[in-house]
Structure 1
Amino acid sequence: MSTPTEDLSAAGVSIWLDDLSRTRIQSGNLQQLIETRSVVGVTTNPTIFANSMTNPDDTSYDAQVHELAQSGASATDAVFAATTQDVRDALDVFRPVYDATNHVDGRVSIEVSPDLAHDTEGTIAQAKELWERVDRPNLLVKIPATKAGLPAIAAAIGAGISVNVTLIFSLERYAEVIDAYLTGLETAKAAGIDLSTIHSVASFFVSRVDTETDKRLAAIGTDEAAALRSKAGLANARLAHELYEKSFASDRAKALLDAGATLQRPLWASTGVKDPALPDTLYVTGLVAAGVVNTMPEKTLEATFDHGVVTGDTITDGYAQAHQVFDDLKSVGVDFDDVTQVLEDEGVAKFIDSWHGLLEQVTKGLEAAR
């Protein structure tokens, strides 16, 4: 008997864990998840590192913080030293997966500073710095899909850096992300860079879409609006997958793929269910298709392993229904363009808040160590 996570992997979904800590690496837990839960990658963000590094029960950072304090490091320098070490160590754990999957999986992401979300040149410079400092081929540098982030994505890809594009909510922005990826590949090709060494995923957020949309549907208060609750997240992701298929079947994309480029895989992020009335594996079992990534918080991963029901592809036959959901949302008065803009603004703001909270806590730790 196979487990649900093995079934999910067999259906072509790459399971990534949306969490990382030094304790998880050093205790062997990360390796255990690879062996028992079919985990083949990890994503991180400032909130994850803040939770890990400021946990009073986690002493795994104490020695490094003390050493950094004695060297006079700033909080920013200390955070980058600690997080790049964690990511580098996790990448080494995943190296056998990276090799076994022909470099597709075995990936770990590290994010540029959220303060740079609206700074194109700053993002490019830091993406290059992180790529050089971590110095592992299976790294993904995480860049947000803000307007300022788009040219930074193209520039990073063009320089041969593998990128996880994060905070994508709308189909319009996703189309721009794909364009930025293809533009970057064209730049890399012209520079003589081996396109097969450049990998990318496009992180499309799911549960937050339902949270914001359902709030608006409740305010509308009609039966028609109520019937659309908790449908927007899956529908939006399915339409993103439809756009992915169409975009990478274009002549422009085919020419790059023929030259050795890899597909920029859709990644389902924010897959932890926030509404307790919904099945806790909804954004996993409802978004199955070969060649996608699902990055899960541990709670969702364990729920999937325990009772997830994987029935094969649950995306590609749902395009027409997904279009209908959006027609219906428009007819009841939901401005989905505003929904996605609010979510992008909130997403950037939350990461900035977490980043500053992390810097504040690390500053206190450095001062205490000094």
Structure 2
Amino acid sequence: MTNPTPTAQLSAAGVSIWLDDLSRERLSSGSLQKLIDEKNVVGVTTNPSIFQAAITSSNDYKAKIAELAAQGAGLEDTITELTTTDVADACDLFAQIAAATNGVDGRVSIEVDPRLAWDTDGTIAEAKNLYKKVDKDNVLIKIPATLEGLKAITAVLGEGISVNVTLIFSLERYRAVINAFQTGLELAKDNGHDLSKIHSVASFFVSRVDTEIDKRLDAIGTPAAKALKGKAGLANARLAFQAYEKLFSTERWVVLAEAGARPQRPLWASTGVKDPAYPDTLYVTELAANGIVNTMPEKTLDATFDHGVVTGDTLTGTYTKANTVLTALENLGVSYNNVVALLESEGLDKFVASWNELLADVEGALAAARRAA
């Protein structure tokens, strides 16, 4: 009998491996199915940047855009049709996994228009529209964890819709996300929904924390500063897992769990290593524990499959050391609150910029199709 691959070992340790990418080519070529079969992928996440790259860098969408142009479709409706079709088809691909795991895995995420990140009512309406448009039980609607997004998360969950909360950087915001989730389940219960059918993940971003903090440590330049490089992202995520353990063991949660609720799983996002000096599997093997999700770009997935060293649970019991790292950073003048606020702002700006590029490119494609008709 052959030895299990590192991704199989990771899966056996209770980590759900999701791919952070989706395109029409992945679906039509069978490459996504191959990752399911060979590298233990059990879900997919998308974001505005992923769709912008997929739609504008290939000819796979040209015929559909021409068809929509002939039908007189507008720009926004065209983009919705292209993205939700890919997500619905991916949901079908993962349907067996979703059924086998009672909906825990086999999930495909689609994000609301990022320009709505500061608009609670707009986000709620868009989330409902996407959920209805995809029309698959195993879809997750992604909502950014802005202050305005928190209320939307509660409202959408209250409608019985499963949610992926995204762009979480700070521990304080993560605790607020968990509160929004539990409030949403309480609302869903009052509304008569089956709590066992409502699923959620909280996407906590990792590598971007190191990128920003390492830049500040390099500017300080002391040996003490350089010794802390590459440690903040892991420390932050480990303390998030501590918060998860605490807030899903309260009396409030016990009441919900007894009513059939499932916990909102932590999901590690932004797990591709940005600094080549660090191991390329750093944010995978060092953040493993039963019951978490790690969504990986294909490069990170391939690295993990090829040479990841899986040693089991690398989260539980790491909290004292993680606190020490964040305290040392503050003592050096690196403001945690400043960093996480900046990263949220930059993350949203990036998604809005990608969405605007997508709008412009699809608008051009629609115009070209109409001229050619």
Q: What is the CA-CA distance between 1:63 and the residue it aligns to?
A: 1.3
Q: What is the CA-CA distance between 1:59 and the residue it aligns to?
A: 2.1
Question: Structure 1-normalised TM-score?
Answer: 0.99
SS of 1:143's partner is strand
* Cα distance in structure 2, aligned partners of 1:221 and 1:37: 41
Deviations 1:228-269 (A, max 9, x none): 001000000000000000000011111101100010000000
- Residue of structure 2 in register with 1:100 after alignment: 100
* Cα distance in structure 2, aligned partners of 1:208 and 1:200: 23
* Cα distance in structure 1, aligned partners of 2:177 and 2:318: 23
Q: What letter matches 1:274 in structure 2?
A: K
Q: What pairs up with 1:145-294 in 2 under 5 angstroms?
A: 145-294=145-294
- Residue of structure 2 in register with 1:123 after alignment: 123
* Cα distance in structure 1, aligned partners of 2:184 and 2:4: 40
Q: What is the CA-CA distance between 1:151 and the residue it aligns to?
A: 0.1
Q: What letter matches 1:307 in structure 2?
A: H
Deviations 1:273-330 (A, max 9, x none): 0001000000000100000000000000000000000000011121111011111111
Moved more, 326-335 or 270-279: 326-335
Deviations 1:193-227 (A, max 9, x none): 10011000000000000001111111122211111
* Cα distance in structure 2, aligned partners of 1:224 and 1:302: 34
- Residue of structure 1 in register with 2:50 after alignment: 48
Deviations 1:84-135 (A, max 9, x none): 0000000000000001112100000000000000000000000001111111
Q: What letter matches 1:239 in structure 2?
A: L
SS of 1:87's partner is helix
Q: What letter matches 1:18 in structure 2?
A: D
* Cα distance in structure 1, aligned partners of 2:61 and 2:248: 43
Q: What is the CA-CA distance between 1:140 and the residue it aligns to?
A: 0.1
Q: 2:40 aligns with which of 38, 45, 48?
A: 38
Q: What letter matches 1:79 in structure 2?
A: I
- Residue of structure 2 in register with 1:301 after alignment: 301
Q: 1:5 aligns with which of 7, 10, 13?
A: 7
- Residue of structure 2 in register with 1:21 after alignment: 23
Q: What is the CA-CA distance between 1:351 and the residue it aligns to?
A: 0.1
Aligned Cα RMSD in Å?
Answer: 0.6
- Residue of structure 2 in register with 1:327 after alignment: 327
Deviations 1:41-79 (A, max 9, x none): 000011101111001xx2221111001111121221111
Moved more, 314-323 or 36-45: 314-323
Q: What is the CA-CA distance between 1:155 and the residue it aligns to?
A: 0.3
Q: Does 1:338 align with 2:333?
A: no
Q: What letter matches 1:88 in structure 2?
A: A
* Cα distance in structure 1, aligned partners of 2:312 and 2:330: 30
* Cα distance in structure 1, aligned partners of 2:314 and 2:343: 25
* Cα distance in structure 1, aligned partners of 2:178 and 2:233: 20
Q: What letter matches 1:282 in structure 2?
A: L
* Cα distance in structure 2, aligned partners of 1:7 and 1:107: 21
Identity fraction in percent: 63
* Cα distance in structure 2, aligned partners of 1:299 and 1:223: 32
Q: Does 1:143 align with 2:143?
A: yes
* Cα distance in structure 2, aligned partners of 1:30 and 1:92: 12
SS of 2:312's partner is coil
* Cα distance in structure 1, aligned partners of 2:159 and 2:42: 26
* Cα distance in structure 2, aligned partners of 1:277 and 1:313: 24
* Cα distance in structure 2, aligned partners of 1:233 and 1:160: 33
* Cα distance in structure 1, aligned partners of 2:247 and 2:317: 18
SS of 2:147's partner is coil
Q: What letter matches 2:46 in structure 1?
A: T
Aligned residue pairs, count: 368
* Cα distance in structure 1, aligned partners of 2:168 and 2:29: 33
* Cα distance in structure 2, aligned partners of 1:75 and 1:51: 17
Q: What letter matches 2:21 in structure 1?
A: D
Unaligned runs of 5+ in 1: none
* Cα distance in structure 1, aligned partners of 2:39 and 2:101: 16
Q: What letter matches 2:122 in structure 1?
A: G
SS of 1:219's partner is helix
